[in-house]
């Protein structure tokens, strides 16, 4: 489902002639199989967020290959990756990334609008998705009128609305209290079991890491450990 081959990345800081090169990822390789929940752990600065941004296509790797669903996405230009993203990937963020001026309904509907789905089908699919995450009664509420847990469920509904085979999550429980975190983790496990969605989750939280079939540790930009969890 996801294959990373000899991936390396670095950032260049400063003006030409006075530049500093900061290595972030160093020749990492791993595979995420279909239907797995794989968690990526590591300290701050270990390269976790850079890795997710590379897989998402928001930045391009200096070296190596990224494959998803049999497509070498690291070779795609920005426009083609954007098209791939809208059809194959869902995203869950720590900060929810909801548009504050849009209602819950409009936030969830947005990917369908970008795909050119008809208004009638958009409404039906969006209402069904909001019902699935338990927020149909809150469809006209704006993000500022929802709790943190409710906002994250809107974010998940938006991620699911295009039926993506892969969901990438960046610290999905980082803004939630412990009770809401536990509810969200159970919901992710339900989605994985019932819909077969593949999850790749970046986290520093042990509770989040424990829901993975496998945990991959990044340290100083390198994969140092792969643990199969019972």
- The Cα-based distances of 135 to 90, 108, 156, 182 in angstroms read 19, 11, 11, 18
Q: Are 40 and 219 in contact (CB under 8 A)?
A: no
Q: Which residues contact 177 (CB under 8 A, 6 or more apart)?
A: 148
The confidence score (pLDDT) of residue 180 equals 84
The confidence score (pLDDT) of residue 109 equals 96
Q: What is the mean pLDDT of residues 94-123?
A: 93
Split into its structural domains, the chain has a count of 1
The confidence score (pLDDT) of residue 105 equals 97
Domain span holding position 47: 2-228
Q: Are 195 and 33 in contact (CB under 8 A)?
A: no
Per-residue pLDDT band for 139 (boundaries 50, 70, 90) equals very high
* Separation of CA 63 from chain center: 22
Q: What is the mean pLDDT of residues 46-68?
A: 92
CATH of the domain at 127: 3.40.50.300
Residue 230 has pLDDT above 50, yes or no: no
Residue 172 has pLDDT above 70, yes or no: yes
Residue 173 has pLDDT above 60, yes or no: yes
Per-residue pLDDT band for 123 (boundaries 50, 70, 90) equals very high
Per-residue pLDDT band for 228 (boundaries 50, 70, 90) equals very low
Q: What is the mean pLDDT of residues 135-161?
A: 93
The confidence score (pLDDT) of residue 183 equals 86
Per-residue pLDDT band for 229 (boundaries 50, 70, 90) equals very low
The confidence score (pLDDT) of residue 15 equals 80
Q: What is the mean pLDDT of residues 14-41?
A: 89
Question: 115-149 burial, b if ≥16 CB within 10 A, otherwise e?
Answer: eebeeeebeebbeebbebbebeebbebbbeebeeb
Share of the chain above pLDDT 70, in %: 97
220 φ/ψ angles, rounded to the nearest 5 degrees: 55, 40
Residue 223 has pLDDT above 50, yes or no: yes
Residue 54 has pLDDT above 90, yes or no: yes
Token pair recorded at residue 148: 């943190």
The confidence score (pLDDT) of residue 225 equals 58
Residue 1 has pLDDT above 90, yes or no: no
Q: Which residues contact 17 (CB under 8 A, 6 or more apart)?
A: none
């Amino acid at each position: 489902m996801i294959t990373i081959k000899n991936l390396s990345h670095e950032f260049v800081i400063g003006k030409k002639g006075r530049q500093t090169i900061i290595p972030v990822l160093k020749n990492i390789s791993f595979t995420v199989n279909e239907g797995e929940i794989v968690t990526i752990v590591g300290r701050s600065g270990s390269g976790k967020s850079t890795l997710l941004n590379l897989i998402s296509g928001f930045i391009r790797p200096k070296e190596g290959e990224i494959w998803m669903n049999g497509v070498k996405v690291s070779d795609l230009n920005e426009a083609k990756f954007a098209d791939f993203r809208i059809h194959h990937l869902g995203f869950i963020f720590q900060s929810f990334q909801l548009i504050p001026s849009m209602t819950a309904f409009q936030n969830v509907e947005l990917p369908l609008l970008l795909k050119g789905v008809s208004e009638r089908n958009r409404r039906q699919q969006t209402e069904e998705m909001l019902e699935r995450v338990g927020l149909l009664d809150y469809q006209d509420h704006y993000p500022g009128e929802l709790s943190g847990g409710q906002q994250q469920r809107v974010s998940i509904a938006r991620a699911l609305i295009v039926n993506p085979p892969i969901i990438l999550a960046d610290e999905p429980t980082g803004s939630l209290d412990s009770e809401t975190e536990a509810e969200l983790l159970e919901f992710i496990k339900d989605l994985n079991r019932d819909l077969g969605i593949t999850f790749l989750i970046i986290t520093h939280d042990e509770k989040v890491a424990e829901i993975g079939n496998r945990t991959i540790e990044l340290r100083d930009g390198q994969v140092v450990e792969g643990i199969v969890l019972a």
